[in-house]
Structure 1
Amino acid sequence: MIAYIRGKVAEITDQAVLVEANGIGYELICPNPFRFQAKLGQVEKIYTYHHVREDAQILYGFEKVDEKTLFSKILNVSGIGPKGALAVLASTTVQDFVMAIEQENEKFLTGFPGVGKKTARQMILDLKGKLPFDYTLEEWPATDVQADTNDIALEEAMEALKALGYSDKEVNQIKPKLKQEKQQEADGYIRKGLALMMK
């Protein structure tokens, strides 16, 4: 098992980060490759999950070891594969996901791409009380309704920007900055997004 790769971030694509280590280029499929944009050309340690199946061997890359751990745990949920697990990690933090599982928050879980009520219930059944993280209730907000609203508004804004003609790559590049804005309405994210695109 390849636990991590330390090498130069050589290239970033819509789905992956290419890392060069000892003359070998490794393609690491990431939840959000553009998180490594500021590290392009730098030597970085990226945690990896080596997924082996009959027709392929794929390396998945993560900025933090907690993300890698959660990815492997989500893969154990019946009906969820690597693509679904990546979608979860691209859309939320480890802490917020753990909170949703422990509080059986189906509304939060069904906000992920491809996750319906049945899959959300399966996640809770398979993962509640079994995730190896030390977050305490005191660290969690009393409610995540605000977070839900922010996430929905952000996704609506992403789709609106694409409809205006911007590519997936362009939109994904500004997503981390937009997420920091914590707007409740899509219009707010769209205005900020257009301003960032003009820079």
Structure 2
Amino acid sequence: MIGRLTGVLVEKQAPEIVLDVNGVGYELQVPMTSFYELPELEQTTTLYTHFVVREDAQLLYGFKSKQERALFRLLIKTNGVGPKLALTILSGMTANEFVNCVERDDIATLVKLPGVGKKTAERLVVEMRDKLKTLLEASAGSEREFVLQSNYTPAPVEDNVEEDAIAALLALGYKPTQASKAVASAYSEGMNSEQLIKASLKSML
């Protein structure tokens, strides 16, 4: 079981990254909430990981905090929610926003996420309520420790930011028309791809 990795960030193409750990490149998929917190390329970072073994693939997921990984693990224990959908949920909203949706029985917001139908949203609210109480108690703090702190420093503006943003949204499960429309409406001059992805995801909630 791989629980944590510390290495040099050598590739970043949301939602996937490559972390060089002593010469070995680990491919990880990370939710956008963690992606925003990553440093620039060639910088060292630490990610808490969850390893998934399937018949056709071995997948490694990375998270900037233990709390976010804990929520991911709770999500994939919910009936009908696999790692890909859990990644999409944690990319479309922060962990704190998800907790608020569960506490308010906010089905309407959850169903806006790709792959989350009404039945899945209702199941999430019911099954996650008690689980989240336990997790919140374990992570008790002045800010619940679910909220990812906004220490993210925007990277320099890149070329093809709209193409990169659309590709990231497609990888998260959004339809091409949804992705293109969201990116077009959210884009403003000077944005880099990470800022545009974040704005596009927010526009669809």
| TM-score, normalising length: structure 2 | 0.67
Partner of 1:12: 12
Q: Contact 1:16 / 1:29 at 8 angstroms: preserved in 2? A: yes
CA distance in 2, matches of 1:14, 1:104: 30
Distance 1:61 1:128, change over 3 A: same
Distance 1:139 1:18, change over 3 A: closer
Partner of 1:133: 136
Map 1:32-181 onto structure 2 (within 5 A): 32=32, 34-35=35-36, 38-131=39-132, 132-134=135-137, 166-169=162-165
AA aligned to 1:86 is: L
Q: Which moved more, 1:79-88 or 1:30-39?
A: 30-39
- Cα-to-partner distance string for 1:81-131 (whole Å, 9 max, x where unaligned): 111111111111111111211221111211211111111111112111112
Q: Secondary structure at 1:28's aligned position in 2?
A: strand
CA distance in 1, matches of 2:78, 2:167: 30
CA distance in 1, matches of 2:39, 2:166: 15
Distance 1:195 1:40, change over 3 A: closer
Distance 1:14 1:95, change over 3 A: closer
Distance 1:63 1:139, change over 3 A: closer
CA distance in 1, matches of 2:44, 2:190: 31
Q: Contact 2:39 / 2:45 at 8 angstroms: preserved in 1? A: no
Q: Contact 2:9 / 2:18 at 8 angstroms: preserved in 1? A: yes
- Cα-to-partner distance string for 1:16-70 (whole Å, 9 max, x where unaligned): 1100011100001111275256432111111111011122111001122111111
The runs of 5 or more residues in structure 1 that have no matched partner are 141-164, 173-185
Identity %: 35
CA distance in 2, matches of 1:126, 1:66: 18
The runs of 5 or more residues in structure 2 that have no matched partner are 145-160, 169-181, 193-205
Q: Secondary structure at 2:81's aligned position in 1?
A: coil
CA distance in 2, matches of 1:170, 1:104: 30
Q: Secondary structure at 1:194's aligned position in 2?
A: coil
Aligned residues: 159
Distance 1:111 1:195, change over 3 A: same
AA aligned to 2:136 is: F
CA distance in 2, matches of 1:75, 1:34: 20
AA aligned to 1:21 is: V
Partner of 1:152: none
AA aligned to 1:71 is: F
Aligned-CA RMSD value: 3.1
Distance 1:41 1:170, change over 3 A: farther
Q: Contact 1:46 / 1:62 at 8 angstroms: preserved in 2? A: yes
**Structure index of larger Rg:** 1
Q: Which is bigger in relative contact order (C-alpha 8 A, separation at least 6)?
A: 2
